Structure 1
């Protein structure tokens, strides 16, 4: 027999529930940010020895790797069919209404669908690899794409398990599995590359192929972590199922249909950045000869500078947004299931401010230390440094798209989000050639930044129309974030210039030892300003006060 709720309980979530939701968002974001950042850093650090071992072939190897991974990422999104995010959202929905048994059935049904999709997509990649080179005519892509098919085969079930655990707001297993996946991948690809390039003196194409096959090795490591987490939480999940409400009206066939129906928009929306990158991949090489006298090697090098070299570094910053996105979907879905309009508005505002708080200083900080960090990873190259500095600013609209799209999915505005993405892609295709004509190697990044800004405007305008966001309340912390970030950039840049007068800025080792104090100064300046002027209190609550006490700033 259900207890009779008083009027306050019936009216909606209590203040403590809202605080708990915010706490879950912060805790979940912390875990996902840690997992994303550490895996991204590890995924960037391997570049240092990897590029060195390729020697003169490094730029063409980078270009081949980037092209193969763009195709792989598209197939990966289709293979997982957006199901992990859909599962996360649906599990949070049914958990929010105390129907844990339905959540368990969702997981089983999702496994059937994802396994089938993995087999289909892996088969297409394996036997249809030659079709992917029709537009750029590079036969070296065929073995690369076939090597990635093995990862496509097993990643969908792994991703389903991640989504299911995230639906319970258990973010730690996902974060740890991301790191382990990257660790296994990097160890294998470095060992294989060293063996082929340095010991066997073999083919650089074969070394790239083994480096991409490492995605399969990494997925195996992630599966081990997630299986361990499943066993750890199994009794708790069984207890929740036993205590929850039973819903006999939801059949397995209905759940599979619901998963597929929910996942189709996720495929399109989560592929947003991939679509922009594919436009670059298949248009850049065609457009560059029209704007100047460039040969194939020069075009490959320019493509590698923005599509691989800079991408590896600014994606570390964007991973901050990805962490927020993974956290916010289940929380917004739960608020939607409870029809908590005020809770959804506050969640959206909190996520936007948290995004600005982390992303803006991170992107501007990357700009400030671009010369040193690029030199550490790829050797000194003035053109590459300029591309990275420019890409640091473009990372902000790309990250905002990731978070905004996730929030649109969390409140079930998938159709509207697909419309906004389509508008952004149309803008990208219209301005791509003019941008390349005017800025050459920077053109694709500029076109992406401008078109994603259009999409972001439409997303935020939609939130404002539906939830009446309190921009006046958000203005003060947003302005503080911008001001403190600019102060941080000026001071960090001054420190880097001063160090550059004392040591050579062109060597890898000197760049590395210059980078460390630059990063420390940047983090210290922004952290001090955020804590001293109470900006962090608006976003982190009591955690900020605790930090001040530990740092003797109270």
Structure 2
């Protein structure tokens, strides 16, 4: 049974990781033409876009109130109890509730956009950007709830496809609008309007995602089941059922908001405090904000999003094992999640760091020393940014929500206490310092607690992690050597030559990592049948 759960985890991870790779790559690649067309206001436009999206992402968290993860957990639990009817009744009630929440949240965001814009340092230019994003909030809670339903059923294909459709439609709208405003129009090259249309694209993408999800509900013959009012086995009132789910959702809301809350602390303090601590102008500080918050984010969030899919996939499986009181299987799943995390994050982070300069050049042009240093630092921060969040998700799957919330609050309070002195001492590097120290503290206390409550064997995790580190070391050497060889023929001073460098050096690194993993048996130990399939395709 444990092997079956691990196979489900690999399959679900493959679907969500694939969707995240595609959607995040699209979300990163679009920046190349977008950034070029926004010239000479590229950095300012990216800062404005990022400021709007940071607040928008926080409103998404508030409007979904942790329901997607909670619904996933509850759907998984009721299906484990063989009570599909109660699971469907729960979904009906939550959908109605979330529709109401979406309307209220959209109105609040629209009305308070001016106050939040000035508090962020974006001024009047940020107001139309935020108001355009408020449209998306209307439907995001419903979309997120349906995704949580599919996640609870461990049917990740619908979840994944809806993400890809959302991103494709969003980017088509965005690039078309920006090109028309900045390049085709002869007298209306308003970069603020171009940014506003870029954020309006989020609403169009959400509608596309909703259509895709409804299609899968119909295709899987679940739409009519959801609205089948057959009584369930669990005797619980509708109000109590919804209340129970909302109580479950609160810890998911709190811990799931970690990344966004840390970003908002940076956004609300960086420009305002740096104006007092330094002699930089507001325009210069907005450009610096773009360097560490907007430019870096577009690339590093690719690996962060993929790593966090382990939490999405592991949640219903660990919940099911806990509900059925299969402690050994639960401990195995937690250890397996850590192994998958290490197998992906360690080589991804090292590879990106080694290719930082050409990778950054592909998207934003040749970086100066500050841009490059920030990029490398935030690449490494990806590990300690995602690991505690995954642990908090697993804690909640095992009914330890209070522990998850406590350790999150420790990290967040540490961030608040460190923010001002970090900005004063380290200026543009201050947000990195405060976040890294706070998250490291959260990681250390959380790892200790998850070991206690899950009973997983850390020796197995460390053993495989050591193997991953050794293989990554060899991979890193191959990337460095190839990068040096290519530098003799290709100067990474342009987008095309840098892209070729990343493609060849990065491609070699991936092959070396997979080759050594297969030869040493690590690939199949971690991925099982999927690892065997990869090995055969690579003829290893």
Q: Deviations over 1:259-282 (max 9, x none)?
A: 211112222111110110011111
Distance 1:131 1:440 in 2: 26
For the residue of structure 2 that corresponds to 1:135, the secondary structure is helix
Q: Deviations over 1:317-355 (max 9, x none)?
A: 101112111101111111121112111111110001100
The unaligned stretches of length 5 or more in structure 2 are none
Is 1:512 aligned to residue 499 of structure 2?
yes
Structure 1 pair 174/72, CA: closer, same or farther in 2 (3 Å)? same
Q: How far apart are the structure 1 equivalents of 2:191 and 2:475?
A: 42
Contact kept in structure 1, 2:136 and 2:206, CA below 8 Å: yes
Q: SS where residue 183 of structure 1 aligns?
A: helix
Change in Cα spacing, 1:434 to 1:128, as seen in structure 2 (3 Å) is: closer
How far off is 1:399 after superposition?
A: 1.9
Distance 2:416 2:247 in 1: 29
Match of 1:302 among 256, 264, 288: 288
Matches within 5 A, 1:137-536: 137=121, 138-200=123-185, 201-234=188-221, 238=225, 246-247=232-233, 249-382=235-368, 383-536=370-523
Q: Please point out which of 98, 108, 112 is paired with 1:128.
A: 112
The answer on whether the counterparts of 1:400 and 1:456 sit within 8 Å (CA) in structure 2 is: yes
* Whole-Å separation in 2 of the counterparts to 1:512 and 1:528: 23
Tell me, yes or no, if the aligned pair for 2:51 and 2:120 is still in contact at 8 Å. no
Structure 1 residue runs of 4+, over 6 Å off? none
TM superposition shift of 1:235: 5.7
Are 1:109 and 2:93 an aligned pair?
Answer: yes
Deviates more, 1:88-97 or 1:315-324: 315-324
The TM-score normalised by the length of structure 1 is 0.93
How many Å separate the matches in 2 of 1:471 and 1:60?
46
Q: Distance in 2 between matches of 1:196 and 1:408?
A: 48
Q: CA deviation at 1:245?
A: 9.2
**Equivalent in the alignment of 1:46:** 30
How far off is 1:289 after superposition?
Answer: 3.7
Q: Distance in 1 between matches of 2:95 and 2:231?
A: 23
Farther-moved stretch of structure 1 (278-287 vs 306-315): 278-287
CA distance in 2, matches of 1:136, 1:220: 28
Paired with 1:157 and 1:18, the residues of 2 have a C-alpha distance of 33
Task: State the SS of the aligned residue for 1:140.
Answer: helix
TM-score, normalisation: structure 2? 0.96
Equivalent residue, structure 2, for 1:3:
none
Using a 3 Å threshold, how does the CA distance of structure 1 residues 286 and 206 change in structure 2: closer, same or farther? same
Give the direction of change, closer, same or farther, for the CA distance of 1:465–1:254 in structure 2 (3 Å limit).
Answer: same
Deviation track 1:87-107 (CA, whole Å, cap 9, x = no partner) reads: 011000000010000110111
Please give the alpha-carbon distance, in whole angstroms, between the structure 2 residues aligned to 1:304 and 1:261: 37
Aligned residues: 536
Distance 1:42 1:120 in 2: 31
* Other structure's SS at 1:412 match: coil
Q: Taking structure 1 as reference, are residues 59 and 376 closer, same or farther at Cα in structure 2, changes over 3 Å only?
A: same
CA distance in 2, matches of 1:236, 1:346: 34
Are 1:87 and 1:164, in contact at CA under 8 Å, matched by a contact in 2?
Answer: yes
- Give the 3 Å change call, closer, same or farther, for CA 271–350 of structure 1 in structure 2: same
CA contact (8 A) 1:54 1:204 kept: yes
